[in-house]
Structure 1
Amino acid sequence: MFSLGYPIAFIYDMKASSWRTSYRHLYLFTCGVLLFLWNFGFDIVHMFVGIFTTLFVNYLFTHSRTAVIFAFVFNMGYLVIGSHICNRGTYDINWTTPYCVLCLRMIGLSWDLYDASEPESQRSVSQKKSALSKFPGVLETLAFSFTPTAFLTGPQFPMRHFQAFIDGSLRPVVTLRKDTFKHRFIYNAKFRRTLSRFVLGHFGLIVLSKWFAMYPADKMLTDEFQYEWSFFSRLLYMIIFGQITLLRYVSIWLIAEGSCVLIGLGCTGLVHIKSKGSIQLPDFIKNKDSDTLTRDGPVLKRRDSAVDWSFADNYIKSHAELYDPTQVIVREAPHTACANISLKRYIFATNTDDIVAGFNINTNKWLLDYVYKRLRFLGNKNLSQLISLLFLALWHGTYSGYYLNFGIELLVVTVEKDFLSILKNSKYNHFFYKTYIGRVISSVCGKLHIYFILASPMVAFYLLKFRLWFSVLKSVYFIGLWYVFWPLIRPAVKYLLPPLPKSPSEQSSQLSTTMNGDVTPVIDQLSSRKQQ
């Protein structure tokens, strides 16, 4: 089912350049509707209810908070009620699955229309890129909602990104002028990422289907598992089951990402420009000071800094020699705009921050842009994070397993950050972070901790119902919830990891500035430690 997006994307990629905009919209909408009908039948009516209701209210209350509030309440309410009626406590794939994706799209669309009414000076960087000053057309919105490669499992992207994809401005034209075999395939960022995602995703599903049969969830519900197995055997089984469950999501996201990249939605608009002759590139190309991010991390941390082609285009147009492939190399940055998983970050993660940053990336980015950042008026980051996670849990459904999963996530992230802050400010900082043996020890311990902490929440996330997950977690003495005792053992940890002693010069400097009434350096030092 997830692979059907590839032939649809291939036809669009080959033919769409000769089509009018309306034909492109019609093709995407028609293919998406046919896929939906084939999988879910006439439940497609729920999708149309969500789309047209959201459009009507936004048209009636253009650029107003009323439309945004309505989009939140209506789409989330419709989804929650539908999930409660249709789902039976198992992972049923029905119309509520694509409506989860649509729900976020409609809320994001309402926010983007509202952001356009705000003064540009008051918009954030992400809001400037996604704000919609012009009301979208009906066919355009239908194509946006039913994009065949993204309507079932995501990823999320704003309407502005979709519009740039449709009109062809998303991908830098300069990268398409090379017609040699090497540049069309070996150095083609789009081709390479599509192929890698297709192969890795399908390989993962094949392997994991066999592993899942070896470690079924029903085994954990048996009396043999809960009463006859040893504690460590039960815990090890839960760890393996949790990893298999996560990797199944990863495989599906990889397949979906590959089809999105093939159709053209994965392009970031970034390029790598490098002189290989005597031509001197300007500083804004060589050392671009930008906040532009790819889904895999800051592009400026790469060996070749990527720049937004829209910045470099005007300069290069006025310097014809830059179009000479013997003098300047212009290559696309990886097509990561639709990446929902960073394999490198996920595989080598040694703390929960790495897991969160590399997993379900587009959904987390959507949550950051449209929920978390919109709660700044609360003036409390912890409260904003709690509300965001509650929204995410409710978006998944009403089963208690979802809320326990995200509750454990918040608990572990909070405790781990505090522990790492103590460790980094301790006298053992140099050993654990600067020596080879220390880095090996901290990395291995961090990785084992990742496996351990994911066991309990993933079991609850999969079993969903309280009567199912409670007995399983009880058999391992609710070990995943032991982090609630952190305040009790924190003093002992601080005693075992004493802070790094300050040098006499630092102590005298800090004392003199404080006595003179200038406490700014002290505050800066405390804030920097808090950020760490």
Structure 2
Amino acid sequence: MASAAEGDVGTVAELARVLRWGFEELSLNKLATSLGASEQALRLIISIFMGYPLAVFFRRYLFFKDSYLIHLFHTFTGLSIAYFNFGNQLYHSLLCIMLQFLILRLMGRTVTAVLTTYCFQMAYLLAGYYYTATGNYDIKWTMPHCVLTLKLIGLAVDYFDGGKDQNSLSSEQQKYAIRGVPSLLEVAGFSYFYGAFLVGPQFSMNHYMKLVRGELTDIPGKIPNSTIPALKRLSLGLVYLVGYTLLSPHITEDYLLTEDYENHPFWFRCVYMLLWGKFVLYKYVTCWLVTEGVCILTGLGFSGFDERGKAMWDACANMKVWLFETTPRFTGTIASFNINTNAWVARYFFKRLKFLGNKELSQGLSLLFLALWHGLHSGYLVCFQMEFLIVIVERQAASLIQESPTLSNLASITVLQPFYYLVQQTIHWLFMGYSMTAFCLFTWDKWFKVSEGLLAKMGGSLKPQAVRDSPCPLSTSVAFVSPQVYKSIYFLGHVFFLSLLFILPYVHKAMVPRKEKLKKMG
């Protein structure tokens, strides 16, 4: 009788567990549907906002507690977030963290350990991309894993630097070099920190350990006075979230693939791409602002004091919002967007290629690394190739205007400044949208079609007659177009910036006088 009763109790408990799970799934599905979002996106947003109550708990009960308790808290909460979003697939992060710890311990502070880390962590990430890739943007375990990959590579490089002579390191390397030997619990806490596990930002092990030791506070010996700065970033993130939620049904990348888009006039397609290129970045801005607020609330965002003695909370800032919204330059957008990831690439990749003796080559390889880190789709390569090209051309143009007396005087006319700004912003966001098209549409059959649609009317007469008269879409007619025509007709951004790349040096030679002439003129 007892065993039967126990069996009944077990059955009821199991049924209750299944029903509770089903109710949770149903509720999330319904809520996501009502919001016009996917369930995975809703889980991501919930997880990001959960960082705030977790940060409050950390401040209230753990800030000055023993380090092992803090590491355990960060590890447990990070694993819980991983399970909530990706279920049993959290084993990918566990495996890579465990193996990275073994690499550090078994290989020590050696070049072999650094190269092994780079190869293994990137290979694991790329394999994940390969086996999970679809033609759409999916929220899956590879999303936080790309953040983790950079963390673990940075950890290996900093550990390697920690074994070098201090005098052989730059001031930046000295700041991040790890002198001690991290324990497995420290590596896990660093990796799973709930404020940055899903979408970043990047931070170093040394900075994390300062948080654990209670050093990241503007009031020594007390909990950081960071509530107001954190709420400011949260509020700004909510503004972007509301804006993105309201506009997302009306401005989508899917519309770029429709016949309706292609049937509109050329100017309309350009304007739509310009607006979409600006708007599509808001989802990233939202996530980074919200997570930055979490980091500030814990104290991780503390970066010291300014000249006036005011506390700064930008150590984990991934966005410079004012610069992002107002800059008319591509380099300004790059400097304001995904700041910590860009800083990571500069610190652990670009500057480590100094031995090549070629800044442009180092920059190109860094952008190639970034493209592969984002994924295996061709759209990523096209986007970062465009960034490389645009930055070079923009620097050439800025140098020309600055060094040419005629252009410099023309650019300094006050009454024309608003007009210049409008033209710059138009070019800036049109070609940002052009670059982001490939980034967001992933596969060549999609972004190639959009590029063709954008220039069809400009270059339609250059198409072979068989292609122009064909009822088939371009994606089925590409075989009729030669590679040269493909490059010069269908890619507006490439044509524009490649032309400037070759033309500007001659313009510079013609409009910038030699130093001897400048001396005579002076």
Quick check: TM above 0.5? Answer: yes
- For 1:161 and 1:385, locate their aligned partners in 2 and report how far apart those are by CA, in whole Å: 27
- For 2:125 and 2:408, locate their aligned partners in 1 and report how far apart those are by CA, in whole Å: 51
Give the percent of matched residue pairs that are identical in Structure 1 and Structure 2.
32
Greater Cα shift, 192-201 or 101-110: 192-201
Aligned twin of 1:526: none
- For 2:204 and 2:247, locate their aligned partners in 1 and report how far apart those are by CA, in whole Å: 36
Aligned twin of 1:377: 355
- In structure 1, which of residues 252, 256, 261 is the aligned counterpart of residue 296 of structure 2? 261
* Secondary structure of residue in 2 paired with 1:341: coil
Q: Does 1:271 align with 2:305?
A: yes
- In structure 1, which of residues 218, 238, 241 is the aligned counterpart of residue 254 of structure 2? 218
Greater Cα shift, 241-250 or 376-385: 241-250
Cα distance, 1:19 vs structure 2? 2.1
Q: Name the amino acid aligned to 1:471.
A: K
- In structure 2, which of residues 234, 256, 276 is the aligned counterpart of residue 241 of structure 1? 276
Aligned twin of 1:311: none
**Normalised TM-score (structure 2):** 0.80
Q: After superposition, give the CA deviation of every residue in 1:90-141 in whole Å (9 maximum; x if it has no partner).
A: 1111111111011001100000010012211111121101101111011111
* Secondary structure of residue in 2 paired with 1:266: coil
Greater Cα shift, 345-354 or 101-110: 345-354
Aligned pair in 2 of structure 1 residues 331, 413: CA closer, same or farther (>3 Å)?
A: closer
CA RMSD across the alignment: 2.1
Aligned twin of 1:35: 81
Question: Contact 2:230–2:297 at 8 Å: present in 1 too?
Answer: yes
Cα distance, 1:459 vs structure 2? 1.0
Question: Contact 1:155–1:257 at 8 Å: present in 2 too?
Answer: yes
Q: Name the amino acid aligned to 1:193.
A: P
- For 1:393 and 1:331, locate their aligned partners in 2 and report how far apart those are by CA, in whole Å: 38
- For 2:408 and 2:416, locate their aligned partners in 1 and report how far apart those are by CA, in whole Å: 8
Q: Name the amino acid aligned to 2:111.
A: R
- In structure 1, which of residues 9, 14, 32 is the aligned counterpart of residue 60 of structure 2? 14
Cα distance, 1:485 vs structure 2? 1.6
Question: Contact 1:201–1:252 at 8 Å: present in 2 too?
Answer: yes
Question: Contact 1:155–1:339 at 8 Å: present in 2 too?
Answer: yes
Cα distance, 1:508 vs structure 2? 10
Question: Contact 2:191–2:197 at 8 Å: present in 1 too?
Answer: yes
Aligned pair in 2 of structure 1 residues 504, 89: CA closer, same or farther (>3 Å)?
A: closer
* Secondary structure of residue in 2 paired with 1:428: helix
Q: Name the amino acid aligned to 1:499.
A: V
Question: Contact 1:156–1:363 at 8 Å: present in 2 too?
Answer: yes
Aligned pair in 2 of structure 1 residues 54, 476: CA closer, same or farther (>3 Å)?
A: same
More helix per residue: 2
Aligned twin of 1:45: 91
Question: Contact 1:340–1:362 at 8 Å: present in 2 too?
Answer: yes
Question: Contact 2:401–2:408 at 8 Å: present in 1 too?
Answer: no
Aligned twin of 1:128: 174
Structure 2 unaligned blocks of 5 or more: 1-45, 456-490
Q: After superposition, give the CA deviation of every residue in 1:232-289 in whole Å (9 maximum; x if it has no partner).
A: 1111111111111112111111011111111111000x224xxxxxxxxxxxxxxxxx
- In structure 2, which of residues 295, 298, 310 is the aligned counterpart of residue 331 of structure 1? 310
- In structure 1, which of residues 378, 388, 399 is the aligned counterpart of residue 377 of structure 2? 399
Aligned twin of 2:451: 473
Q: Name the amino acid aligned to 1:28.
A: H
- For 1:416 and 1:331, locate their aligned partners in 2 and report how far apart those are by CA, in whole Å: 36
Aligned pair in 2 of structure 1 residues 505, 46: CA closer, same or farther (>3 Å)?
A: closer
Q: Does 1:66 align with 2:112?
A: yes
- For 1:18 and 1:165, locate their aligned partners in 2 and report how far apart those are by CA, in whole Å: 9
- For 2:499 and 2:409, locate their aligned partners in 1 and report how far apart those are by CA, in whole Å: 27
Greater Cα shift, 485-494 or 83-92: 485-494
- For 1:132 and 1:433, locate their aligned partners in 2 and report how far apart those are by CA, in whole Å: 49
Q: Pairwise mapping of residues 352-371 of structure 1 onto structure 2 (< 5 A)? A: 352-371=330-349
Cα distance, 1:331 vs structure 2? 3.1
Structure 1 unaligned blocks of 5 or more: 178-183, 273-304, 307-329, 510-532
Aligned twin of 1:231: 266
Cα distance, 1:34 vs structure 2? 0.8
Q: Name the amino acid aligned to 1:82.
A: G
Aligned twin of 2:519: 506
- For 1:220 and 1:5, locate their aligned partners in 2 and report how far apart those are by CA, in whole Å: 36
